[in-house]
Amino acid sequence: MNRFTLVLLVAMIGPPGMAQNIIDTYGAIIRSDTSKKTIYLCFTGHDFYEGFDQVLAVLKRQHIAASFFLTGDFVRQHAPLVKTIARQNHFVGAHSNKHLLYCDWSKRDSLLHTPDEIKADIQQNLAELRRLGIYPAYFMPPYEWYNQNVVKLALALNQLTINFSPGTRANADYTTPGMSNYVSSSAISASIRDYEKRNGLNGFHLLIHPGTNPLRVDKFYDHLDDLIRELKEKGYQFSRF
């Protein structure tokens, strides 16, 4: 059994008594302990940051620890903010150094950069975090798009790959009205409620962008407080990685 397979088995099984995590076909953890009504709020950051203070205020008011995956560019430009996020007991992980697209959109098994370039990109991100005293074990790939080769490269750097749980439209909160795949905040909220009603959200990784293009004025993070309150009323708790 090679190291890649062994680590993935450990990630799937988890500690004794824990239900299996859900791993996708590429090796990323896309859902955590499904035996508990726990949701993992995930936030990413690269070129926009206007909603971070608001998101942090909501999390503090709701007494929730969440997970933030930030690029090297973001860390360099917003070091005081990153320190604040970590100081407030949120998880801070890598999201690539330059937010490169690692593999082709239509031919996912094809890398757009060499393995050495991808490893260097992740290493540079981790180095920026280490400068702030942050040593994460989980990595969310840029664009949330990767293949098994990317997952293996991250694992070689002692990083387990995390991604959002499929099924809702929350990850589309970056879209702008001019895009063909635009999704409004009301439609995103409806998709979360519908998925929860049909399938539950146990162990769900819910991805939200705290910074989005100014062309999107309908910011989904403006609905975060109400969403958390509604899910708490349904018996859900929230946790970080």
Residue 150 has pLDDT above 50, yes or no: yes
Whether residue 241 is contained in a domain is answered as no
Q: From CA 198, how far away is CA 215, in angstroms rounded?
A: 33
pLDDT band at 82 (very low <50, low <70, confident <90, very high): very high
- Number of structural domains the chain divides into: 1
Q: pLDDT per residue over 117-141, tens digit each?
A: 999 999 999 999 999 999 999 999 9
Within a domain: 120 = yes
pLDDT tier at 19 (50, 70, 90 boundaries)? low
Residue 136 lies in a domain: yes
How is the chain split among helix, strand and coil, in percent rounded to 5?
Answer: 40, 15, 45
As a whole number of angstroms, the distance between CA 240 and CA 26 comes to 23
Q: Give the mean pLDDT of 81-92.
A: 98
Burial of 101-111, coded b for 16+ CB within 10 Å and e otherwise, reads ebbeeeeeeeb
Q: CB neighbours of 87 closer than 8 A, spacing ≥ 6?
A: none
Average pLDDT, integer, range 192-221: 97
**Whole-number Å distance between alpha carbons of 78 and 86:** 13
Q: Are strands 67-70 and 22-23 parallel, antiparallel or unpaired?
A: unpaired
Residue 118 placed within a domain: yes
The domain that holds 44 is classified in CATH as: 3.20.20.370
Q: Is residue 113 part of a domain?
A: yes
Residue 51 lies in a domain: yes
Q: Determine, yes or no, domain membership for 240.
A: no
Return mean pLDDT, the chain. Answer: 94
What range does the domain containing 170 cover? 3-235
Query: Could you tell me if residue 33 is inside a domain?
Result: yes
H or E element at residue 120: helix 115-130
- State yes or no: pLDDT of 14 exceeds 90: no
Q: Is the pLDDT of residue 18 over 60?
A: no
pLDDT at site 20: 80
Output the DSSP codes for 134-169: ---SEE--GGG---HHHHHHHHHTT-EEB-PPBTBS
Q: Report yes or no: 166 and 201 within 8 Å, Cβ to Cβ.
A: no
Copy the structure tokens of residue 49.
């940051």
Q: How confident is the model at residue 5 (pLDDT cuts 50, 70, 90)?
A: low
Alpha-carbon distance of 42 to 234, in angstroms, equals: 20
Contact, 163 vs 140, CB < 8 A?
Answer: yes
pLDDT score recorded for residue 17: 43
